[in-house]
Structure 1
């Protein structure tokens, strides 16, 4: 079975329920299983974001963070490059970049987006597959 990683971007104070619903909808829509999730990731400034920390705990997966500088390496792979995101964070797409960075950290030499950026008013999500053998 292959694994998945999720990258999240969110507004400060984004509630756990919004993040969990966004994840569950993306999994369901793409016929993916929550049990495949190996970790979630976000921007380093979100390391203490309560909703993200709570989501990782609820899912019993590690929560990783990456700096905007680390995420710039994934710009060419993004489905959407947001100048607004860059102005606020220093990278052009938090969710997709974080998912790609985490997949590469977990051993996927050329990670590919499985689910491009999904968004609500408060959060974004992207999913990347990680081969397990």
Structure 2
């Protein structure tokens, strides 16, 4: 969920433009009341936020509910004219920097990144799990929804990963062929190496396949193998009635 929060009539015009011109797949929130309570609750639910207002208002509103750069959802701040976009929270870790740069390109505006320049290039991997004989449309719709939530394109995804018992899952294979992405599977022992990095854990899943979560584990381990650095979840496990999906990334130094 993306909420675009506007506090003035001019800001509302920009918010509606973002939605109506399909620049942001989100919902406009005009002067939500009670403001602090509504915004804080949305933030704690993990909703991505775009504020069209003064940065100070955002800082004072969200300061009491900040947790960590690894858990807070990304937050952008824009001026009423849409000339500047600031990734205020979760710049590197939550993807706010990438999100702000992508949106600034669509608006032809200036992206003001204040975090330290990392000199790194991210690689993105998708992890997927599913019921046996899961229909293709369940897999594809979930995959595309996760890309949208993470503000990524298919071209930015390096590969799709799963657990080895899914190596012959017909529609996972078909999905990867359709998307022209490598499909790579890993055994449970390997996937358990990234267990400390998981956002969610299921004892039931562990009892069945030997890991606490297929999608997150596969995405994280795949990213680690590609770059050899500590991976991180960019999008925690999402699910529908038949499949799960998560997105991870790792970085490689560039010169």
**Which contiguous aligned blocks of 4+ residues in structure 1 show a shift greater than 6 angstroms?**
none
TM-score by structure 1 length? 0.94
- Superposition map of 1:15-94 within 5 A: 15-94=135-214
Structure showing greater radius of gyration is 2
Q: Contact between 1:2 and 1:36, CA under 8 Å: does it hold in 2?
A: no
Query: Structure 1 residues 112, 11: closer, same or farther in 2, change over 3 A?
Result: same
Pair 1:123-2:236 in alignment: no
Unaligned ranges ≥5, structure 1: none
| Structure 2 SS opposite 1:127 | strand
- Superposition map of 1:76-115 within 5 A: 76-115=196-235
Q: Distance in 2 between matches of 1:130 and 1:55?
A: 23
RMSD (CA atoms)? 1.2
**1:56-111 deviation line (CA, Å, top 9, x unaligned):** 10111111001111111111111111001001101101000000110011114010
**1:22-62 deviation line (CA, Å, top 9, x unaligned):** 01111112211111111001110100101110011011111
| Structure 2 SS opposite 1:22 | helix
Unaligned ranges ≥5, structure 2: 1-120
**Structure 2 partner of 1:7:** 127
Q: CA deviation at 1:130?
A: 3.5
Q: Contact between 1:42 and 1:65, CA under 8 Å: does it hold in 2?
A: yes
Aligned residues: 133
Q: Distance in 2 between matches of 1:123 and 1:6?
A: 13
Q: Distance in 1 between matches of 2:185 and 2:227?
A: 16
Q: Contact between 2:230 and 2:250, CA under 8 Å: does it hold in 1?
A: no
TM-score by structure 2 length? 0.50
